[in-house]
Amino acid sequence: MGAGPMGESERGETAPRCRVNYYCANGHVTSPSFAIDAEIPETWDCPRCGFPAGRDGNNPPAPPRTEPYKTHLAYVKERRTDEDGEAILEEALARLRASREL
């Protein structure tokens, strides 16, 4: 009783493991352990910042380039010219004026 990890006798022996260090661009080091016979991935997501981490501490992977947030107006301007916008505005104003005359 109390001689080892709980339930180890029922589950059997643990597989031999190795620890691998991964380094992200922010200088964080992550050391997950893998089974000796497992395929070790080239990159790993840093649990602290979410950036990709690689095994070369002197040359970590570059952080992903994120697109800035676009407003609804920015998307509209991609689809319509200023002249189109003016025409749509004039049509809407004309309808509004016509409905007020009734």
- Residue 2 has what pLDDT? 55
Q: Is 18 annotated as a binding residue?
A: no
Q: How far is it, in rounded angstroms, from Cα 24 to Cα 20?
A: 13
This prediction has a pTM of 0.57
Q: How far is it, in rounded angstroms, from Cα 35 to Cα 6?
A: 21
Dig out the tokens for 34 from the structure: 């893998």
Q: How far is it, in rounded angstroms, from Cα 64 to Cα 74?
A: 23
Q: Is 49 annotated as a binding residue?
A: yes
Radius of gyration of the chain from Cα atoms? 30
Q: Is 46 annotated as a binding residue?
A: yes
Superfamily of domain 14-54: RNA polymerase-binding protein A (2.20.28.270)
Instruction: List the pLDDT tens digit at each of the 102 positions of the chain.
Output: 555 566 566 777 888 999 999 999 999 999 999 999 999 999 999 999 999 999 999 999 999 888 888 999 888 889 999 999 899 999 999 999 999 886
* Per-position DSSP letters for 16-79, written without gaps between them: PEEE--EEETTS-EE--EEETTSPPPSEEE-TTT--EEES-TTSPPPPPPPPPP--HHHHHHHH
Residue identified by tokens 């620890």 is: 19
> Which residues fall within 8 angstroms of residue 21, CB to CB, at 6 or more apart?
29, 30, 31, 55, 57
- Residue 64 has what pLDDT? 86
